[in-house]
Structure 1
Amino acid sequence: MSFVDPLIWGKLAEIIALNIVLSGDNAVVIALACRALAPAQRAKGIALGAGVAVVLRVVFTVLIASLLNAPFLHIVGALLLVWIAVKLIIEDGESDEDSITASSKLWKAVQTVAIADIVMSLDNVLAIAAVAKDSIPLLIAGLVISIPLIVLGASLITSLLTRFPVLVWAGAALLGWVAGEMFDSDPWLITRFGADMLHRLEYPAAALGALLVLALGYWLKPRRPDPAL
């Protein structure tokens, strides 16, 4: 691979642009997971979360693209993503600084980002791999360059979540929407019901995923006792 070749630069720009588009949901997850961290830990958590997201994107694109056609993989991934979204709602507003150190909270946030990115990368890796073809250095270069852009997006979303807590629910609903789309695209379901039918159900499935997350989050979220009582 020669970086003098203008075609290489075109491919590199394409990978960067594609990763920015595909990482919008990653930025939401990073922001949701890091919003409760202390200000001193928040920037570190966002940077680590973005780094984990990009590294996992590389690993999945290079090694696991062949698994994307495995039956039930998208179904399992969708259920896991719903669980993550509901968990983020349940933990919103909880304060456990007395029982958890800042360091452990930081790594807990990064762990949440890692699990969510593994799930959400399932559909993204094919698009990026298709651009990079067999050029692993080109793939890695494009994704690494994207890290600051993901960090910027996550930082902006985190500041919005801090000012407007209701956006936590909106972010969780977005993850539910992605889960619904992922569930609807499972190869086993496509084989059983046909691609045309599942394509027509794509938006209803996504909407159902978002509603499921909101309903479970509302039902399972601990109620704060009324101080007047």
Structure 2
Amino acid sequence: MDYLIQLAVDPTVWVALATLITMEVVLGIDNLIFISILTNKLPKHQQARARRIGIGLALILRLGLLGTVAWIVQLTEPVVELFGKGFSWKDMILIAGGLFLLWKATKEIHHNVDREPEGDMFEGKPAKNAAVMTFTSAISQILLLDLVFSIDSIITAVGMTEHIPIMVIAVIVAVTVMLLAANPLARFIQNNPTIVMLALGFLMMIGMTLIAEGFGVHVPKGYIYAAMAFSAAIEGLNMLARRSRRKQVT
């Protein structure tokens, strides 16, 4: 208890907490976009439940990993060497997660671009060549990406503070924000089909970033999120322009 009181009265701890919460929320955007796109392929009555379970699993994973911080830190130690470069477990997990995101985003782009004329997923009529998404499959894929993002998030958090309670609070706050934003974001993506392609493009960029990080090429996250924000702003202007044209026609 004395330890927690000492943390509560230390101003530097509050600064670290605010910084860590901001970082966790920003890093959670990637996961949230993936969850939104994936769950929108499920039947309507399963979508909200799948999002809650997916985000709940993210919370359980991150809190569980915080209990094994000493082991998590060891994941950054090289365990295998290829072509003169050492790869740690963290590197291999990031590369595998990046490849999975690239595969998944490419597959979804293909289904959106090359749909059968008889069906339209945005009108509730799945195309004949569209992949069938089951509840179990969606949760499994969400869990896989949760693991990748959680390990990356925890390792980053360990580099910012050594206090486990601070990390726990930051994770809980960030996941709560994800939970509150999940349904509105999913509805926005579903109601604006062009946003889906933009979001899939974001996932491909994030996948490439994970692969680059796995090979030791550090890509500043600020550049990634600035590009995402700029693209989203341009798409927002396009949406306003389309809405304005529709009003003029009517």
- Do they superpose with TM above 0.5? yes
Bigger-Rg structure (1/2): 2
Tell me what 2:72 maps to.
64
> 3-state DSSP class of the match of 1:172?
helix
Partner AA of 1:64 in structure 2: I
| Contact in 1 for aligned 2:102/2:207 (Cα 8 Å) | yes
Deviation of the 1:29 alpha carbon: 0.9
Q: Pick one of 173, 176, 187 that aligns with 2:201.
A: 173
TM-score, structure 1 length as denominator? 0.67
| Distance in 2 between residues matched to 1:114 and 1:169, nearest whole Å | 23
Task: Spell out, residue by residue over 1:82-130, the C-alpha distance to the aligned partner (whole angstroms, 9 max, x if none).
Answer: 123234445663749xxxx9xx933322222111222334433222122
Tell me what 2:39 maps to.
34
Q: Percent identity?
A: 22
Name whichever of 156-165 and 35-44 sits farther off.
35-44
| Contact in 2 for aligned 1:35/1:162 (Cα 8 Å) | yes
| Contact in 2 for aligned 1:12/1:142 (Cα 8 Å) | yes
Deviation of the 1:30 alpha carbon: 1.1
Tell me what 1:147 maps to.
175
| Contact in 1 for aligned 2:97/2:145 (Cα 8 Å) | no
Tell me what 2:146 maps to.
117
| Contact in 1 for aligned 2:72/2:155 (Cα 8 Å) | no
Task: In structure 1, list runs of 5 or more residues that go unmatched.
Answer: 208-229
Tell me what 1:55 maps to.
60
Deviation of the 1:24 alpha carbon: 0.7
Q: Pick one of 6, 9, 27 that aligns with 1:6.
A: 9
| Distance in 1 between residues matched to 2:140 and 2:110, nearest whole Å | 17
Task: In structure 2, list runs of 5 or more residues that go unmatched.
Answer: 79-86, 113-120, 228-250
Deviation of the 1:15 alpha carbon: 2.8
Partner AA of 2:156 in structure 1: A
Deviation of the 1:60 alpha carbon: 4.2
> 3-state DSSP class of the match of 2:166?
helix
> Which aligned pairs between 1:117-136 and structure 2 lie closer than 5 A?
117-135=146-164
| Contact in 2 for aligned 1:11/1:131 (Cα 8 Å) | yes
| Distance in 2 between residues matched to 1:37 and 1:139, nearest whole Å | 33
Please provide the CA RMSD for this pair. Answer: 3.4
**Would the alpha carbon gap of residues 166 and 185 (structure 1) be closer, same or farther in structure 2, given more than 3 Å must change?**
same
> 3-state DSSP class of the match of 1:112?
helix
| Contact in 2 for aligned 1:80/1:119 (Cα 8 Å) | no
- Give the paired residue count: 189
Tell me what 1:219 maps to.
none
